[in-house]
Amino acid sequence: MITVTKAFIPDRDKYQRYVDNIFDSGQLTNNGPLLKELESRLANYLGVKNLILVANGSLALQVAYKALNLKGEVITSPFSFAATTSTLLWENLHPIFADINPATFNLDPKNIINNLSTNTSAILPVHVFGNPCEVEQIRQIADEYNLKVIYDASHAFGVDYLINSAEKTSVLNFGDISTISLHSTKLFHSIEGGAIITSDDDLAKRIRLLINFGISSPDTIDDVGTNAKMNEFEAAMGLCVLDEIENIKKLRSQIWNNYEVELKDFVEFQKWHPLSMNNHAYAPILLKNQSELLNLKNTLEENNIYPRRYFYPSLDDIEITKHCSNKTKSNSKLISEKILCLPIYPGLSEKDQLRICEIVLKTIKT
């Protein structure tokens, strides 16, 4: 069976050695040595100033909202994974959907302005499938209207952005905060996990407090916190996977390139930001319409191949968000109806890649 993604499994003996160390030291969690090592290696690898590891990507978002004291309305994208919106609702914030650009799949900056109100406190754009948003325009809007910016950068691990002809920076360096998910289905993972990235040292300090119950020293509780800590077993997995990251990226780009070569005349692809390079976290294709998509999905499933409809349904098309948008026909809904993510993970053989392409071509041509 071929699924849309598969968790990367590192060398068993290497992981076992970390587990032996954990057993010997007895420290299972609470800011342990492996967590600290992973934080510093990741910050270094990604090129970011402060990186705080947390239990998962959803808590990374929730802690970010608290750390920035968000209230009222938050403008966000309806074309995303459920957690982008459900974390807002969970924190009693009001998501306001601004429609996406149908070519990039990212929140269109001009729709931010249309949706502003006196209650807007922040913008929560998503770098969909790792594709950078219009970060410069979004920064300008945020500055002009005094809004916080949090990027749901769950997909944007290792994505750089060219700031001038000679210099690039991690896309995670934009916004007041960027969050990523390190769930096992993602490009880089620590079983479950997430990270909060900010270049503001004071904010980073507050976030460290918030993820540990607001406790600043054994006898001092300074803030209303929660428990969002990552444990040592997860950090150990992260360290093992990080050793393999270049190889993971290479294998993914080979698969992505094969899809592109085989399918480019017959399906549409996401338009990537010209100042950035694809990290090949996902392999989305756009079909002509929903019936072509359903037909293809059925045929692939008959062959034991399970692509996924990321993202479907569009988040502005579900009961729990009826109060978050007034648009009936959004680009987000239109894209949701005809987008399919093909299998992409290290270990997907070239033979299987070509078989998938063959089925796609045969199905959409008939």
**Helix, strand, coil percent values for the chain (each to nearest 5):** 45, 20, 40
- Min dist CB 189 to ligand PLP, Å, is 9
Taking the least distance from each CB to ligand PLP, the nearer of 170 and 190 is: 190
Residue from 181, 231, 332, 336 touching ligand PLP (CB under 6 A): that is 181
Q: Is 206 in the site for ligand PLP (CB under 6 A)?
A: no
Query: Pattern of binders to ligand PLP over 17-36, x per CB under 6 A?
Result: --------------------
Give yes or no for residue 152 binding ligand PLP (CB under 6 A). yes
Is 81 a residue that touches ligand PLP (CB under 6 A)?
Answer: yes
In the complex, minimum distance from the CB of residue 86 to ligand PLP, in angstroms, rounded to a whole number: 9
In angstroms, give the least distance from the CB of 231 to ligand PLP. 14
Q: Does 84 bind ligand PLP (CB under 6 A)?
A: yes
**Whole-Å CA distances, 26 to 19, 200, 283:** 10, 33, 42
Buried b / exposed e over 295-305, threshold 16 CB at 10 Å, is: ebbebbeeeeb
C-alpha to C-alpha distance for 315 and 331, rounded to whole angstroms: 12
Q: Is 306 helix (H, G, I), strand (E, B) or coil?
A: strand
Cα distances from 360 to residues 80, 255, 351, in angstroms, run 25, 15, 14
Among 62, 85, 120, 154, binds ligand PLP (CB under 6 A): 154
Show the tokens assigned to 216: 């600043």
Which string of DSSP letters, residue by residue, matches 47-91? Answer: T-SEEEEES-HHHHHHHHHHHTT--SEEEE-SSS-HHHHHHHHHT
Q: Judged by CB under 6 A, how many residues of this single chain contact ligand PLP? A: 14
**Distance between CA 216 and CA 207 in Å, rounded?**
11
Min separation Cβ 93 and ligand PLP, Å: 15
Among 10, 95, 132, 194, binds ligand PLP (CB under 6 A): 194
Q: Is 83 in the site for ligand PLP (CB under 6 A)?
A: yes
Task: Using CB under 6 A, pick the residue from 50, 77, 80, 131 that binds ligand PLP.
Answer: 80
Q: Site for ligand PLP (CB under 6 A): which residue of 5, 50, 56, 76? A: 56
CA distance 48 to 161: 13
- The reply on whether position 284 binds ligand PLP by CB under 6 A is no
Closest CB to ligand PLP among residues 155, 360: 155
Q: What is the DSSP string of 182-219?
A: --TTSSS--SS-EEEEES-HHHHHHHHHHTBTTEEETT
Q: Which residue is nearest to ligand PLP (CB)?
A: 57
**Which residue, 80 or 178, is less far from ligand PLP as judged by CB?**
80
Residues in contact with ligand PLP by CB under 6 A are 56-58, 80-81, 83-84, 126, 152, 154-155, 181, 183, 194
